């Protein structure tokens, strides 16, 4: 499956065209069960009349040891002298410099603030995700309201046993990619590759590092196997994408990234895409889900694209150009040279650019592959980079809206001096680069962080014999050094505890018993309860103004004065007693 959604109708669909609905959908809310049922009834799913087919790609090849994925000085593995930041992961591809794309967009620096949060879910709308992949299986979203394998729609959402996503191509609960030898030889596992970039399991000494270490992946497969007689292909319908976007939004995905497909010339494509536009609008405006899509690779007619004689060169790419108000279209570039491919699509639907080739990611059958010049649709991979950074941003501040995330991405994007950016709109724009190159560190530093803590309350009994009593509090989203807990009471102290890569940061909260006694006239009476609050505060040295607007959870500390505490010790079993 390939990375872009592209309509052969070209410019027939202006971006601002109001939605046209089929009979039966006019009175239904977008993404409601009635709305989706009417769409299916108007255009029943049929592989024989597929709306789109994926183009084949170059025969798959695995990168050899000479594959150029290194940084300066070739592909030297990272040594101890490189590991000067506690936030660096130990994944083998990262250590061997096969993921320099992450450094190129300053993801390493962004990890000093956050590794991401496990309550941020990124939906991958493509050809499926290999659910058992060693670097992905522990990152797959789980439906908390569905019991797997019982044949019952436990949560009543219309999808039976959708415990780990859904296959809209074959209408079942297995969102894994097609595993047919004729298909796997020529069609890349786009969704699996994108999922690894977004949120592979990180710091596990194997495979790759994901951008958002703790984010969850929601696999949504929109493709099916198509038998064309002389060959097999991968295809499906536009309304599969529409339904998948609706599913992701209703499931609570904070980011939805679309990839892995290319449209043919359906009679009903205009209507289908207008319905897709409504689904995108619903996700963005009503569910707060950031929607991301590849800008495409049809800037030149020598690739598998609509007939240039019929549709013109560089036709608009869908869904990137379908709903520019509610979607981020992503162009790709090669991170070492900062060059784009000659056939990269360009236009006002390009919102930002991100790395699209020359790095490793997850591949089918528990393997990994270098995305190089033989990979035909790098803007898929670029869109995955943006989705991963967006997941980090939403982890740092869950209250951010899609408009706010997009605004920070563009405010802090790198606009190279040799590229002409035209003023106008919210940000300067270039048709090939959008508002600039993705820059993870500054986008996160430039936003206020909202600290999420656990627990929110501590109860600490003390007696007069103690000098200190301590307990710890975890941050669910920010790393050590990015926040502090403060109190105006000198007897209530806190200090950050050492943090290992990938672990949650912890802060130790301590009661200075002598200081508490002094604050209460030199006596601590049994039965007394003293309650104070610790406030969380961001430490954002790069952007002090953003720090001033930051905040988050408080911790209520209740200190109860009790009679002398007795500590009991069990005899050691090794003594034989």
Taking only the tens place, the pLDDT of each residue in 207-220 is: 999 999 999 999 99
- The model's confidence at residue 59, banded by pLDDT at 50, 70 and 90, is very low
Q: Which residue has the higher pLDDT, 232 or 145?
A: 145
Say yes or no to pLDDT of 62 above 90.
Answer: no
pTM for the whole structure:
0.89
CATH number of domain containing 475:
2.60.40.10
Whether residue 508 lies inside any domain: the answer is: yes
What pLDDT score does 16 carry?
A: 34
What are the helix and strand counts (H, E) for the chain?
14, 22
What pLDDT score does 342 carry?
A: 87
CA atoms lying within 13 Å on the CB side of residue 110: 31
The DSSP code sequence of 7-33 is -TTGGGS-TTPPP---TTTTTS-TTSH
What pLDDT score does 553 carry?
A: 95
User: What letter does residue 457 receive in the DSSP assignment?
Assistant: E
What's the structural domain count of the chain? 2
What pLDDT score does 203 carry?
A: 97
Task: Using the structure block, give the residue that is written with the tokens 């046993």.
Answer: 161
Partners of 454 in the beta sheet?
474
Q: Are residues 294 and 439 in the same domain?
A: yes
Q: Which residue has the higher pLDDT, 61 or 405?
A: 405
Helices (H), ranges, 502-568: 513-519, 544-549
Q: Are residues 72 and 216 in the same domain?
A: yes
Helix (H/G/I), strand (E/B), else coil: 566: coil
Instruction: Give the pLDDT mean for 500-517.
Output: 94
Q: Are residues 292 and 199 in the same domain?
A: yes
Say yes or no to pLDDT of 226 above 70.
Answer: yes
Helix (H/G/I), strand (E/B), else coil: 44: coil
- The model's confidence at residue 9, banded by pLDDT at 50, 70 and 90, is very low
Whether residue 494 lies inside any domain: the answer is: yes
Q: Are residues 436 and 522 in the same domain?
A: no
Q: Which residue has the higher pLDDT, 45 or 230?
A: 230
- The model's confidence at residue 70, banded by pLDDT at 50, 70 and 90, is very low
Whether residue 321 lies inside any domain: the answer is: yes
- Domain end among 445, 465, 488: 445
Are the beta carbons of 483 and 536 closer than 8 angstroms? Answer: yes
Q: Are residues 422 and 465 in the same domain?
A: no
Please tell me the least confidently modeled range out of 45-49, 336-340, 409-413, 429-433.
45-49
CA atoms lying within 13 Å on the CB side of residue 497: 15
Give the tens place of pLDDT for each residue, 175-210: 999 998 888 888 889 999 999 999 999 999 999 999
Please tell me the least confidently modeled range out of 24-38, 52-66, 263-277, 559-573.
52-66
Q: Are residues 159 and 243 in the same domain?
A: yes
Please state the three-class secondary structure of 372-383 as a single string: CCCCCCHHHHHH
Say yes or no to pLDDT of 44 above 60.
Answer: no
Please tell me the least confidently modeled range out of 188-197, 308-317, 479-488.
308-317
Of residues 109, 114, 99, the one with CA closest to residue 214: 114
Give the tens place of pLDDT for each residue, 324-352: 999 999 999 999 999 999 889 999 999 99
What pLDDT score does 74 carry?
A: 33
Say yes or no to pLDDT of 422 above 90.
Answer: yes
CA gap 235, 225 in Å, rounded: 6
Q: Are residues 375 and 244 in the same domain?
A: yes
Q: Are residues 404 and 519 in the same domain?
A: no
Say yes or no to pLDDT of 425 above 80.
Answer: yes
What pLDDT score does 304 carry?
A: 59
**H-helix or E-strand spanning residue 258:** strand 255-258
**H-helix or E-strand spanning residue 205:** none
CA gap 418, 433 in Å, rounded: 12
- Domain end among 376, 410, 445: 445
Give the tens place of pLDDT for each residue, 448-459: 999 999 999 999
Say yes or no to pLDDT of 301 above 70.
Answer: no
Of residues 193, 181, 304, 176, the one with CA closest to residue 232: 181
Give the tens place of pLDDT for each residue, 557-567: 999 998 865 54
- The model's confidence at residue 389, banded by pLDDT at 50, 70 and 90, is very high
CA gap 298, 342 in Å, rounded: 9
Q: Are residues 486 and 395 in the same domain?
A: no
Are the beta carbons of 234 and 54 closer than 8 angstroms? Answer: yes
Whether residue 566 lies inside any domain: the answer is: no
Say yes or no to pLDDT of 381 above 90.
Answer: yes
Whether residue 538 lies inside any domain: the answer is: yes
What pLDDT score does 268 carry?
A: 52
Whether residue 216 lies inside any domain: the answer is: yes
What pLDDT score does 255 carry?
A: 99
Beta strands in 103-165 (DSSP E): 121-126
Q: Are residues 421 and 513 in the same domain?
A: no
- Domain end among 424, 445, 466: 445
Q: Which residue has the higher pLDDT, 547 or 134?
A: 134
Whether residue 5 lies inside any domain: the answer is: no
Instruction: Give the pLDDT mean for 359-375.
Output: 94
Q: Are residues 459 and 353 in the same domain?
A: no
Mean pLDDT of the chain: 85
Partners of 472 in the beta sheet?
508
Say yes or no to pLDDT of 2 above 50.
Answer: no
Q: Are residues 228 and 290 in the same domain?
A: yes
CATH number of domain containing 143:
3.40.50.200
CB-based contacts of 518, cutoff 8 Å, min separation 6: 491
- The pLDDT > 90 percentage for the chain reads 65
Say yes or no to pLDDT of 278 above 70.
Answer: yes
Say yes or no to pLDDT of 521 above 90.
Answer: no
**H-helix or E-strand spanning residue 371:** strand 367-371
What pLDDT score does 547 carry?
A: 85
What pLDDT score does 504 carry?
A: 95
What pLDDT score does 310 carry?
A: 60
CA angle 262, 61, 89 (to 5 degrees): 90
Whether residue 50 lies inside any domain: the answer is: yes
Q: Which domain holds residue 497?
A: 450-561
């Amino acid at each position: 499956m390939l990375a872009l959604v592209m309509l052969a109708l070209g410019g027939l669909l202006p971006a601002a065209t109001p939605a046209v609905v089929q009979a039966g959908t006019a009175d239904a809310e977008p993404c409601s069960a009635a709305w989706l049922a009417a769409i299916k009834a108007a255009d029943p799913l049929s592989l024989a009349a597929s709306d789109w087919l994926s183009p084949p790609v170059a025969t798959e090849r695995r990168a050899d040891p000479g594959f150029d994925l290194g940084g300066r000085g070739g592909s030297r593995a990272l040594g101890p002298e490189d590991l000067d930041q506690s936030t660096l992961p130990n994944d083998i591809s990262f250590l061997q410099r096969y993921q320099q794309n992450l450094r190129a967009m300053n993801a390493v620096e962004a990890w000093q603030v956050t590794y991401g949060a496990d309550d941020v879910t990124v939906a991958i709308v493509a050809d499926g995700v290999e659910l058992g992949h060693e670097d992905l299986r522990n990152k797959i979203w789980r439906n908390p309201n569905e019991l797997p394998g019982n044949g019952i729609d436990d949560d009543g959402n219309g999808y039976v046993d959708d415990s780990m996503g859904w296959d809209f191509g074959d209408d079942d609960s297995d969102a894994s990619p097609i595993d047919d030898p004729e298909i796997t030889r020529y069609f890349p596992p786009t969704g699996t590759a994108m999922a690894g970039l977004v949120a592979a399991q990180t710091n596990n000494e194997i495979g790759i590092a994901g951008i958002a270490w703790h984010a969850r992946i929601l696999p949504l497969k929109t493709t099916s196997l198509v038998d064309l007689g002389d060959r097999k292909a991968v295809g499906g319908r536009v309304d599969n994408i529409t339904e998948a976007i609706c599913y992701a939004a209703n499931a609570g995905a904070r980011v939805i990234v679309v990839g892995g497909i290319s449209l043919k010339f359906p009679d009903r494509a205009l209507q289908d895409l207008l319905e897709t536009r409504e689904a995108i609008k619903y996700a963005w405006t009503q569910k707060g889900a950031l929607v991301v899509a590849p800008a495409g690779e049809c800037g030149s007619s020598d690739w598998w694209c609509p007939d240039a004689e019929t549709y013109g060169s560089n036709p608009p790419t869908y869904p990137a150009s379908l709903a520019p108000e509610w979607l981020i279209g992503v162009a790709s570039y090669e991170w070492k040279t900062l060059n784009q491919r000659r056939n990269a699509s360009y236009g006002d639907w390009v919102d930002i650019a991100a790395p699209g080739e020359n790095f490793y990611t997850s591949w089918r059958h528990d393997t990994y592959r270098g995305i190089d010049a033989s990979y035909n649709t790098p803007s898929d991979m670029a869109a995955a980079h943006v989705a991963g950074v967006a997941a980090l941003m939403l982890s740092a501040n869950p209250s951010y809206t899609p408009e706010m995330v997009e605004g920070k991405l563009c405010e802090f994007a790198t606009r190279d001096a040799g590229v002409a950016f035209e003023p106008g709109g919210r940000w300067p724009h270039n048709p090939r680069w959008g508002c600039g190159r993705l820059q993870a560190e500054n986008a996160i530093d430039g936003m206020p962080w909202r600290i999420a803590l656990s627990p929110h309350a501590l109860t600490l009994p003390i007696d007069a014999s103690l000098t200190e009593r301590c307990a710890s509090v975890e941050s669910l989203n920010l790393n050590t050094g990015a926040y502090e807990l403060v109190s105006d009471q000198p007897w209530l102290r806190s200090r950050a505890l050492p943090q290992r890569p990938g672990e949650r940061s912890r802060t130790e909260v301590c009661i200075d018993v002598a200081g508490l006694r002094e604050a209460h006239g030199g006596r601590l009476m049994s039965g007394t309860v003293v309650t104070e609050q610790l406030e969380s505060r961001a430490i954002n040295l790069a952007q002090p103004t953003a720090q001033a607007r930051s905040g988050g959870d408080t911790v209520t500390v209740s200190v109860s004065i009790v009679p002398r505490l007795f500590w009991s010790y069990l005899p050691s079993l090794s003594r034989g007693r």
